[in-house]
Amino acid sequence: MIVPGCAGPREAQTRAQAAVRQIKAFIKRPDTDCGCSSVVGEVLGSLTSDELGPVLRELFVASVRQRTKVLTLAELLNDLDQLSEASDRGEIDEAIMLFEDMADQAKLGAQFLRSLAQHSPNRRLQQAGDIDGKAHA
């Protein structure tokens, strides 16, 4: 029988990975505008302190990935000023989709950070955003 809080390192890692999957699956659902923090709070509240650290780090890294996606989409919009009201409908539709996708990716990144901020102990993640020895810009 496994006693909560007495998990070995392998079990702690497995539980942390499962928690990250649950959180990401829930946050990525389109209908998560309501109740997201309570569901994420339940998942994070079920973890031991050994399991919580890696999950919070992964939420931070996931938000950094979302920023990269937003920047990539913004680069695709660099030629937007070359369009006009007389531009081809397909070009306008493409720009619309890029803006919508950028908004979706930014919202997802914000939700990852919101979950991190609401459930992180009152301490810095690590100096200068260095997570697990890897600097994230």
Tens-digit pLDDT profile for residues 6-17: 556 778 778 888
Amino acid found at 111: Q
At residue 6, the pLDDT reads 52
Top pLDDT among 32 and 65 is at: 65
On whether the CB atoms of residues 2 and 15 are closer than 8 A, the answer is no
In which band, very low, low, confident or very high, does the pLDDT at 129 lie, cut at 50, 70 and 90? very low
In which band, very low, low, confident or very high, does the pLDDT at 64 lie, cut at 50, 70 and 90? very high
Tell whether the model's pLDDT for residue 136 goes beyond 70. Answer: no
In which band, very low, low, confident or very high, does the pLDDT at 100 lie, cut at 50, 70 and 90? very high
Neighbours of 29 (CB within 10 A): 11
| pLDDT tens figures, 18-40 | 888 888 777 777 665 555 667 77
**Quick one: which of 114, 125, 135, 120 has its CA closest to 27?**
114
At residue 24, the pLDDT reads 78
Distance CA(19)–CA(21), nearest Å, equals 5
Top pLDDT among 55 and 133 is at: 55
